[in-house]
């Protein structure tokens, strides 16, 4: 067995208790230890003069004790002043033993290490520093290298962790090969793999400035390569070949009350070309809010069904599933296709009969939520999987649904869609295994939503606008948000807001929707709003995805400073779908700098792709990548804030590795991903 794959239990001094604590840090093998990088370093290699100390840094200091006292005011504190000839440093101990006080004597020499702070009364100070008393001529004990400080867990001290990492380095030394091409290392002046790890874990006085970046760059390249390999692997499978049925297509298009945009037609042509191939389609369709992705999905479903195959459409919420069910039922009415609506609401005999018909091939299209990948859901001839708002699902869930259509060497085609525009630099990383289509054109009837940013003090004006708006037979949304991620708290906020607005607007029919309501109750309220039996819908962010009420052209978002740009853009996309002007009023309570920038972007831009790029610039890739679902990007060494510039180069250098050293690709993937590589094939 490779030393890299040995369990941490083989290391000297690592007993069962330590193994358990290492496992809490996801450290199982020696290789895991090598990729467990320090958060920072302490410099115990040199003694610093007190006059050279910098607040906020840690330092090793030696001096003579000038004063020792217990301060009686407040809680008793042991205070010790030391002087090294260049200045005075105060040491404070809020927790101490009487023996400590007795041991510290005037004139003795003391060595200490700790973080330098600024005390308002005493100047420079250290609180609870490590220290030891020295004899008059005894030399200060210094380290011969910087001391790494690692991410840790309770009960596992740094010295045990450092010893474990150093042992792992020593045992794996012969296997720390460099798999990146020489021209890449030379281009960036990178140290080799072994040297980079040695410098990071066992540094001398300085660390190669590119040691961390070298590891991060390799890891990014590996993620790209794994996705590219997954794409190639998927193409080795067989898939059903779909041929366009012009007659069916013509009937479908003629029944629509609108014409397809040029962008929709282009993307549909790309999907049709994929499905005419004997390899499985793996295509991501990105489209801004209201760009007509659902209709593109309907055309793809029509293609599969007209070729005698079943289609599964999976969406993240019952609300969106219900809306898709209504749309598809209306669009497919001329063909008498059987559609099953499968969510948690379908129970008992109705569920049993529906699943039986699906397994027998009597159902052509099933639309549902997470219920679709449950074990009892079986298909006779699944040819196409469509996943809407794909970022809401984990990769393992998508794999479970895909596997239901696996038949020998055959797999279904896959179409995934998102209304959350993904910045190009991140899309290259996360979706390198997919062909990407972009619907970059809105239907002609879509007008930009006029966006205003208003302080909460103008709430009365906003309420008056709602009253005026409703008298014109138009409808409106009022969206409530809270800092806490809690359906309960959000529900309470929405309930109190609905009650307040009902009192303030006695002639306005007010409805309420929030996450704590039962699905049937929620759907009934939404249907009443769509039927214009309600004028104003007070809601939490549950309406973010998929709600389509063309007559509702006014949205008020309360406390928008608490939401990210993507979510704000999704919410705003619920209006502007009908005739006449539409408005989005962002009613803020407080406006810190970051929130001010976000709301300014919302006011100035309507293109979701532009907003996504601005969001990336504003927050950095770290926060965006931090929201990835299970099985998606998880980095060991990449700090997106520090290494964000490398994302632009990933595909270029990944392709270089693939071309120049293809034999190293599986070795790189095994090094960084190991068993996680199972998730890259989506």
What b/e readout covers 152-180, taking b as 16+ CB neighbours within 10 angstroms? beeebeeebbbebbebbbebbeeebebbb
Cβ neighbours of 608 (radius 10 Å): 26
Of 457-461, 618-622, 644-648, the range with the lowest mean pLDDT is 618-622
Read off the pLDDT band of 633 (50, 70, 90).
low
H helix runs in 71-123, sequence order: 98-103
Of 97-111, 118-132, 152-166, 637-651, the range with the lowest mean pLDDT is 637-651
First to last CA, the chain: 30
pLDDT at 393: 60
- pLDDT digits over 366-376, tens only? 999 888 878 88
Q: Which two tokens stand for residue 202?
A: 């066992």
Backbone angles phi, psi at 360, to 5 degrees: -85, -5
Read off the pLDDT band of 423 (50, 70, 90).
low
Closest among 304, 585, 625 to 458, alpha carbons compared: 585
Backbone dihedral region for residue 189 (phi beyond 0: left; psi -120 to 50: alpha; all else: beta): left
pLDDT at 316: 83
Read off the pLDDT band of 415 (50, 70, 90).
very high
Comparing 505 with 432, the larger pLDDT belongs to: 505
Read off the pLDDT band of 428 (50, 70, 90).
low
- pLDDT digits over 114-150, tens only? 999 998 777 899 999 999 999 877 887 788 888 899 9
For 277-299, what is the mean pLDDT? 89
Question: What are the residues whose beta carbons fall under 8 Å from the beta carbon of 468, sequence distance 6 or more?
Answer: none
pLDDT at 290: 78
What is the β-pairing status of strands 475-479 and 123-127? unpaired
Read off the pLDDT band of 396 (50, 70, 90).
low
Task: Examine the pLDDT at 679 and tell me if it is beyond 70.
Answer: no
What is the β-pairing status of strands 435-439 and 282-287? parallel
For 508-517, what is the mean pLDDT? 88
Of 3-17, 105-119, 273-287, 629-643, the range with the lowest mean pLDDT is 629-643
pLDDT at 276: 95
Task: Examine the pLDDT at 578 and tell me if it is beyond 90.
Answer: no
Closest among 439, 398, 420, 447 to 280, alpha carbons compared: 398
Task: Examine the pLDDT at 60 and tell me if it is beyond 60.
Answer: yes
Question: What are the residues whose beta carbons fall under 8 Å from the beta carbon of 507, sequence distance 6 or more?
Answer: 467, 470
For 578-603, what is the mean pLDDT? 89
Mean pLDDT for the chain overall: 86
Q: Which two tokens stand for residue 280?
A: 């499985």
Read off the pLDDT band of 545 (50, 70, 90).
low
**Overall pTM > 0.85:** no
Of 11-20, 48-57, 543-552, the range with the lowest mean pLDDT is 543-552
Counted residue by residue, the chain has a size of 682
For 282-307, what is the mean pLDDT? 91
- pLDDT digits over 370-393, tens only? 888 788 899 999 999 999 876 556
Task: Examine the pLDDT at 507 and tell me if it is beyond 50.
Answer: yes
Task: Examine the pLDDT at 677 and tell me if it is beyond 90.
Answer: no
Asked if 490 and 514 count as a contact pair (C-beta separation under 8 A), the reply is yes
Distance CA 572, CA 606 (A): 9
pLDDT at 553: 92
DSSP 410-428: B--EEEEEESS---HHHHH
Task: Examine the pLDDT at 592 and tell me if it is beyond 50.
Answer: yes
Distance CA 74, CA 663 (A): 68
Helix H or strand E encompassing 502: helix 487-504
For 621-642, what is the mean pLDDT? 55
Distance CA 411, CA 403 (A): 8
Comparing 515 with 595, the larger pLDDT belongs to: 595
Task: Examine the pLDDT at 493 and tell me if it is beyond 50.
Answer: yes
pLDDT at 514: 83
Task: Examine the pLDDT at 632 and tell me if it is beyond 80.
Answer: no
For 147-174, what is the mean pLDDT? 91
DSSP 514-568: -TTS-HHHHHHHHHHHHTTS-SEEEE-GGGTTT---TTEEEEEEESGGGS-HHHH
Comparing 295 with 154, the larger pLDDT belongs to: 295
Q: Is the dihedral of CA 372, 373, 376, 382 positive or negative?
A: positive
Task: Examine the pLDDT at 337 and tell me if it is beyond 60.
Answer: yes
The proportion of the chain whose per-residue pLDDT surpasses 70, expressed as a percent, equals 90
For 219-223, what is the mean pLDDT? 90
Distance CA 600, CA 589 (A): 15
pLDDT at 6: 92
The proportion of the chain whose per-residue pLDDT surpasses 90, expressed as a percent, equals 51
Read off the pLDDT band of 637 (50, 70, 90).
confident
Read off the pLDDT band of 319 (50, 70, 90).
confident
List, in sequence order, every beta strand (DSSP E) within 194-307.
282-287
Backbone angles phi, psi at 474, to 5 degrees: -105, 165
pLDDT at 87: 94
For 103-118, what is the mean pLDDT? 93
Which whole-number Å values give the CA distances from 582 to 300, 454, 527, 578, in the listed order?
32, 16, 21, 8
pLDDT at 360: 95
Read off the pLDDT band of 548 (50, 70, 90).
confident
What b/e readout covers 547-581, taking b as 16+ CB neighbours within 10 angstroms? bbbebbbbbbbbbbbbbebbbbbbbbbbbbbbeee
List, in sequence order, every beta strand (DSSP E) within 309-363.
310-314, 339-342
DSSP 358-402: HHTT--SEEEESGGGGSTT---SSEEEEEEESGGGS-HHHHHHHH
Q: Across the chain, how many H-helices and E-strands are there?
A: 24, 22
Which whole-number Å values give the CA distances from 217 to 38, 199, 399, 653, in the listed order?
17, 16, 28, 9
Of 277-291, 490-504, 575-589, the range with the lowest mean pLDDT is 490-504
For 621-641, what is the mean pLDDT? 54
pLDDT at 458: 93
For 617-632, what is the mean pLDDT? 45
Of 500-504, 517-521, 552-556, the range with the lowest mean pLDDT is 517-521
pLDDT at 170: 94
Place of tokens 């898939």: 239
Q: Which two tokens stand for residue 467?
A: 């009253």
Task: Examine the pLDDT at 598 and tell me if it is beyond 80.
Answer: yes
């Amino acid at each position: 067995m490779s030393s890299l794959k040995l369990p941490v239990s083989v290391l000297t001094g690592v007993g069962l208790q330590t193994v358990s604590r290492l496992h809490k840090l996801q450290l199982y093998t020696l290789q895991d230890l090598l990729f467990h990088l320090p958060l920072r370093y302490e410099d115990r290699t040199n003694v610093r003069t007190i006059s050279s100390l910098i607040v906020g840094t840690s330092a090793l200091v030696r001096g003579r004790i000038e004063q020792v006292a217990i301060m009686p005011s407040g809680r008793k504190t042991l205070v010790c002043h030391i002087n090294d000839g260049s200045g005075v440093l105060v040491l404070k101990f809020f927790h101490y033993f009487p023996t400590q006080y007795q041991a510290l004597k005037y004139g003795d020499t003391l060595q200490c290490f700790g973080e330098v702070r600024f005390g308002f009364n005493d100047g420079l100070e250290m609180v609870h520093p490590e220290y030891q008393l020295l004899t008059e001529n005894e030399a200060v004990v210094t380290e011969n290298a910087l001391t790494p400080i690692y991410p840790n867990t309770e009960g596992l001290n740094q010295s045990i962790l450092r010893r474990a990492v150093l042992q792992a380095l020593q045992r794996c030394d012969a296997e720390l090969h460099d798999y990146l091409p020489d021209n890449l290392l030379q281009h960036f002046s990178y140290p080799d793999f072994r040297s980079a790890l040695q410098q990071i874990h066992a540094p001398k006085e300085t660390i190669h400035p590119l040691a961390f970046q070298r590891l991060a760059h390799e890891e990014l390249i590996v993620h790209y390569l794994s996705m590219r390999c997954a794409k190639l692997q998927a193409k080795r499978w067989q898939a059903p070949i779909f041929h366009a049925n012009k007659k069916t297509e013509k009937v479908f298009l003629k029944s629509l009350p609108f014409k397809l945009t040029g962008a929709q037609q282009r993307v549909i042509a790309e999907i049709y070309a994929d499905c005419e191939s004997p390899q499985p389609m793996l295509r991501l369709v990105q489209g801004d809010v209201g760009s007509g992705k659902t209709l593109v999905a309907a055309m793809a479903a029509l293609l599969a069904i007209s070729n005698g195959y079943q289609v599964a459409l999976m969406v993240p919420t019952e609300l969106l599933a219900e809306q898709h069910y209504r749309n598809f039922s209306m669009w497919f009415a001329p063909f008498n296709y059987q559609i099953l609506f499968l969510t948690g609401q379908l129970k008992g005999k109705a569920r049993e009969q529906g699943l039986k018909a699906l397994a027998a091939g009597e159902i052509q299209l099933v639309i549902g939520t997470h219920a679709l990948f449950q074990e009892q859901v079986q298909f006779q001839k699944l040819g196409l999987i469509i996943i809407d708002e794909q970022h809401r699902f984990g990769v393992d869930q998508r794999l479970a649904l895909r596997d239901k259509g696996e038949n020998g060497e055959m797999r279904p085609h896959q179409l995934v869609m998102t209304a959350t525009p993904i910045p190009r630099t991140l899309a290259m990383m996360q979706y390198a295994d997919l062909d990407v289509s972009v619907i970059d054109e809105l239907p002609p009837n879509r007008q930009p939503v006029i966006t205003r940013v208003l302080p909460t003090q103008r709430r009365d004006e906003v309420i008056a606008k709602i009253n005026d708006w409703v008298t014109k037979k138009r409808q409106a949304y009022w969206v409530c948000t809270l800092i806490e991620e809690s359906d309960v708290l959000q529900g309470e906020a929405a309930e109190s807001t609905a009650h307040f607005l009902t009192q303030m607007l006695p002639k306005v029919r007010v409805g309420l929707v929030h996450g704590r309501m039962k699905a049937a109750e929620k759907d009934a309220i939404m249907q009443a709003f769509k039927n214009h039996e309600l004028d104003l819908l007070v809601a939490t962010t549950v309406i973010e995805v998929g709600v389509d009420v063309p007559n509702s052209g006014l949205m008020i978002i309360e406390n928008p400073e608490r939401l990210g740009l993507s979510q704000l853009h999704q919410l705003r996309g619920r209006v502007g779908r009908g005739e006449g002007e539409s408005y989005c009023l962002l009613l803020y309570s407080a406006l810190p700098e970051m929130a001010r920038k976000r709301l300014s972007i919302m006011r100035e831009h309507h293109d979701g792709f532009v907003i996504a790029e601005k969001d990336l610039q504003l927050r950095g890739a770290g926060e965006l990548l931090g929201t990835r679902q299970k099985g998606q990007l998880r980095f060991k060494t990449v700090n997106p804030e520090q290494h964000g510039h490398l994302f632009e180069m990933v595909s270029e250098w990944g392709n270089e590795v693939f071309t120049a050293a293809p034999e190293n690709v599986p070795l790189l993937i095994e090094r960084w991903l190991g068993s996680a590589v199972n998730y890259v094939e989506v």
